Amino acid sequence: MATIISTLKGALGAAVLFGVYFSLVTLISGWNFALSQFFSYWYYIVGLAFGFGVQIGLYSYLRCLVLGNNISRKPLAVSGATSTVAMVSCCAHYLVNILPIIGIAGFLSVVGQYQIELFWLGLVSNAAGIVYIGGKLKKFINEKRN
């Protein structure tokens, strides 16, 4: 039962990340642009969402096993934030068009120029989170056997 619930939570987490991506990009530049960007960078976006979903699933499963022990959520939170920023970065440079009055226009231009690097940062962060949570899960299972 814990496996099914954890899998569903992971799928929901991935779906939420897709929702954040499509909502923000559509809000900034419209639905057609959001689809265009998704099809241009789908392998990064799907990878980020999938990796984040896997982390949530692993974390949820570990939490169900431990039930009550204090496990840090920081790696999951950091990885989730990095994944979201990386996904949104593919269109962040278009925010410059609608936010010229606010002093962050230059920052957003820089973010837009490094979108591929941010995608990779998000993917590496996802992988690190999966390895970290997977290691904790393996350690817990090994301790339970002994």
The tens digit of pLDDT for each residue in 14-23 reads 998 899 889 8
Query: What is the number of structural domains in the chain?
Result: 1
**Does 85 score more than 50 pLDDT?**
yes
- Which element (helix H / strand E) includes 6? helix 2-29
DSSP 86-103: HHHHHHHTTHHHH-SSST
- The least confident of 11-20, 58-67, 98-107, 126-135 is 98-107
Average pLDDT over residues 51-75: 75
**How high is the pLDDT of residue 43?**
93
pTM value > 0.85: no
Burial of 70 (0-12, 13-18, 19+ CB in 10 A): exposed
Q: Which domain holds residue 126?
A: 2-145
**How high is the pLDDT of residue 88?**
58
**Does 101 score more than 50 pLDDT?**
no
Q: How far is CA 33 from CA 15, 62, 90, 127, 133, in A?
A: 20, 39, 11, 29, 35
pLDDT bin (cut points 50, 70, 90) of residue 42 is very high
**Does 55 score more than 50 pLDDT?**
yes
